[in-house]
Amino acid sequence: MPKRSDLNSVLIIGAGPIVIGQACEFDYSGTQAAKALKEEGVRVILVNSNPATIMTDPDFAHRTYVEPLTADVLEKIIARERPDAVLPTVGGQTALNLAVELAQRGVLEKYGVRMIGANLNAIKMAEDRSLFKRAMIEIGLNVPRSGFARTPGEAAEALEHVGLPCIIRPSYTLGGMGGGVALTREDFFGDAEKGTLGKAAWGMAQSPVHEVMIEQSLLGWKEYELEVMRDHKDNVVIVCSIENLDPMGVHTGDSITVAPAQTLTDKEYQMRRDAALKIIRKIGVDTGGSNIQFAVNPANGELQIIEMNPRVSRSSALASKATGFPIARIAAKLSIGYTLDEIPNDITKKTPASFEPTIDYCVTKIPRFDFEKFPQADRSLTSQMKSVGEAMAIGRTFKESFQKALRSLESGSDGLDETDVPEDAIAEKLRTPQPDRIWNVGQAFRFGWSVEKIRSLTLIDPWFLENIRQIVDEEKVVAKRGLPQDREGMLRVKQMGFSDRRLARICGVSEAAAREKRLSLGVRPVFKRIDTCAAEFEALTPYMYSTYEQECEAEPTRKKKIMILGGGPNRIG
């Protein structure tokens, strides 16, 4: 199919200032979309109130407006520029909410502006939790028991139906804003005498439509995500599966996540895949990407659908980097009429976008928190997002990428470091999700605790706990015997993600001595290519990660080179 001939100019709505739940991911996606549309000869009009973004660089759009992101301002820009369409799916929740407001005000109809990427009905059905629940039931999928409320009276009725504990999820909000877990009636309703506002009332205040869903608690269930793309010919691909290491109850933006999912059988994965295809078709996302979240009861495998984002999301940026599949770029091309089989893969130059990515490595994302700057803040992690950034690492195994990601947080950690929590206090540290819990899991293994005991406190899947236990066991061997004296031993600890500095600290030697020993044994990192196809086709665009194996795929040229160092994970300041 040729691209649509009726779309000569497109308005892209940015995400605005960086806030918790909406950071650089949407600058990345907006930039990708603007570049993709310009490639196709489409005139790009960009609106964003954040000047410290790549997308507002003059090279990325034909006309850039650094203006407040309000419906009134956007109406004036539409009246002046007369775009043929608006693309709201690459600017996060901000852009989506503004597009809905413009449509409901009649602004888009007044100026003949189409909404591309996702239509109004699809956005409403995915974002309005009552409509979404009804849609899931219609296609035979399970959703948690829930009720909806716009008033305190309706909230009380919903609570009677759902029971405690319960999850409060406001409609049309970002990063779980206004959401939370109510364990008691006082949590839910508040206390007038103490002057505390209940979580139900707070959630209604945060929702633009003053609606909350009061949902059955699935605390402790396993959480998975699928990144899905669809074109207007109903071709659908699954870009990536993502598994949350932390169980339900912790916002996915605050959870350690792993791609691809590690604890699913092939049959279980295919069930989620089939469900995702049903969902994206039922909701009606005609073109572009969506993120679908599932909960699974670890006791019996029961599957529940949590939510769907009918847009490029935070997880889309992770999935793009994890697979080499540029979700936002392809979503933009799909929105102007192309089909998945017509869009070439930028990495292989041979396979189309309809060729699902294959991952022969493991990617771990760990959130970055800045509670040190706010010592009075509540450090417990709930369904409302609190992290300000994240680090991603790639390795051939979970253990390698996990320890690399811990080091990448730039928090002073060399990997799975020791903590100073005494054994009699560690149970409480494990029971309550907090930013440092994963290090305390390692510390519990150092105290000799079993996988089963730690699992009962954290509800983390035993597969992940077993991998962490193996890291601690190897650490004990190194501490007892000293640095490995043969190549096989050194290669084993490096493949488990131990850095030279971490090995030096365990053995009580200098980092230089540990590095010298490694080099003397001929153990050096190699670079592998992320090629979307597990080396089935040649990768023409080098996108690489380091690991400890035999073959190096870097193939450096003889040209002069400049290395550019990035700034690491987002943090306050």
- Residue 425, CA distances (Å) to 6, 149, 418, 441 in order: 65, 40, 15, 12
432 lies in some domain? yes
- Residue 392 counted as domain residue: no
Of 216, 249, 272, the last residue of a domain is 216
Last residue of a domain, one of 348, 365, 382: 365
Residue 303 near residue 272 (C-beta atoms within 8 A): yes
| Same domain, yes or no: 86 and 212 | no
533 found inside a domain: no
Residue 458 belongs to a domain with what CATH number? 1.10.1030.10
Residue written as token pair 């877990």: 181
CATH number for position 210: 3.30.1490.20
Asked if residue 343 and residue 233 are part of one domain, the reply reads yes
Residues 189 and 226 in one domain: no
Specify whether 246 is located in the same domain as 343: yes
Tokens found for residue 474: 């190897």
In this structure, what token pair is assigned to residue 72? 């009134």
What's the pLDDT score for residue 535?
53
Q: What is the DSSP letter of 252?
A: G
- CB-based burial of residue 323 (10 Å sphere; 0-12 exposed, 13-18 middle, 19+ buried)? buried
Query: Residue 126 falls within a domain, yes or no?
Result: no
CA 58 – CA 333 distance, rounded (Å): 21
Predicted confidence at residue 70, as pLDDT, reads 95
Give me the pLDDT at residue 1, please: 46
239, burial (CB in 10 Å: exposed 0-12, middle 13-18, buried 19+): buried
Domains held by the chain: number = 4
Q: Could you tell me if 351 and 438 lie in one domain?
A: no
Same domain assignment for residues 227 and 346: yes
Residue 385 resides in a domain:
no
311 and 202 fall within a common domain: no
Q: Is residue 279 part of a domain?
A: yes
Residues 212 and 317 in one domain: no
Sole residue written with tokens 């109903």 = 234
Q: Are both 178 and 192 inside the same structural domain?
A: yes
The answer to whether residues 257 and 287 belong to one domain is: yes
Q: Half-sphere exposure (CA, 13 Å, Cβ side) for 11?
A: 30
pLDDT at position 193, please? Answer: 78
Which of 448, 468, 488 terminates a domain? The answer is 468
User: Which CATH number is 240's domain given?
Assistant: 3.30.470.20
Q: Tell me the β-bridge partners of 11.
A: 45, 86
Indicate whether 170 and 276 sit together in one domain. Answer: no
Task: State how far Cα 547 lies from the chain centre.
Answer: 23
Q: What is the mean pLDDT of each run of 10 residues along the chain (573 residues)?
A: 78 86 79 92 94 87 94 97 95 90 96 92 87 94 91 92 89 77 90 83 90 89 94 94 94 93 92 95 90 92 90 84 89 93 79 86 94 82 86 96 96 94 96 94 98 97 98 97 96 97 96 97 94 60 88 90 90 72
User: Does 318 lie in the same domain as 247?
Assistant: yes
In a domain, 556, yes or no: no
pLDDT for res 291 = 92
Domain assignment present for 445 = yes
Supply the range of the domain harboring residue 275.
Answer: 220-365
Q: What is the pTM of this model?
A: 0.90
Long-range contacts of 68-74 (CB under 8 A, 24+ apart): 69/13, 69/14, 69/16, 69/94, 69/95, 69/98, 70/98, 71/98, 71/101, 71/102, 71/105, 71/107, 73/47, 74/11, 74/13, 74/47, 74/98, 74/102, 74/107
Least Cα distance to 309 among 525, 57, 25, 17 occurs for: 25
